[in-house]
Amino acid sequence: MLNTQFTFNKTFWKIIKKLHNYTCLISILTKQIVSQLRISRYYYQIGKKTNKMAYVRELFAENLKKNRKKCGFSQEKLAENAEVSTHYISMIEMARNFPKSEVIERLANALNIEVHELFLAPRTNEDELNKLHKAIISDIKRTVSESIVTSIETAFDRMTNSDKTIKK
């Protein structure tokens, strides 16, 4: 009995050591994936900012369209409220034209927002990355726990089976 218990303890610690190594490896890989996502997003944003005026025009166009849809306005309705043509709104939303300051103020008033809201950069996906990281860690913990339980049960079954054969 003492010998089988020693074998069980030895097997158990080998399993724990392997699982610990796997957990460390998975943790490192997860951090690298998250880091790579951050780097990719950073270079994407840098690439967009190389032509600053084009970036501002695109940003303004995206925000105008988003806020117009949020208010439930069509391009025609926004054009009417801001006292500009529908074609001009279309050209702004496609980032082909950039309005003068007076028109920007009228657009913001028509959308019932502050002018600066039309120039806000989209939020980064930092929260999304953190959620992903937590989900991956949670999955790893669950998988490791299940593996530990399965390994212990298997080792225990082997130990009890070897005890039965020794007693016979």
For position 104, what pLDDT does the model report?
93
Asked if residue 139 lies in contact with residue 82, where contact means CB atoms within 8 angstroms, the answer is: no
pLDDT tens figures, 118-151: 888 776 566 667 777 777 777 777 787 777 778 7
Asked if residue 104 lies in contact with residue 113, where contact means CB atoms within 8 angstroms, the answer is: no
Average pLDDT over residues 53-73: 89
For position 42, what pLDDT does the model report?
47
* Cα separations in angstroms, 13 against 7, 19, 33: 10, 10, 30
Please calculate the CA angle 146-152-153 and round it to the nearest 5 degrees: 90
For position 121, what pLDDT does the model report?
77
Pick from 59, 120, 70: which is nearest to 95 by CA? Answer: 59
Boundaries of every domain in the chain:
1-50+144-160, 51-122
Asked if residue 112 lies in contact with residue 71, where contact means CB atoms within 8 angstroms, the answer is: yes
| Topology, domain 51-122 | 434 Repressor (Amino-terminal Domain) (1.10.260)
Fill in the DSSP letter of residue 125: T
For position 150, what pLDDT does the model report?
80
Chain-centre distance for alpha carbon 3: 51
For position 8, what pLDDT does the model report?
53
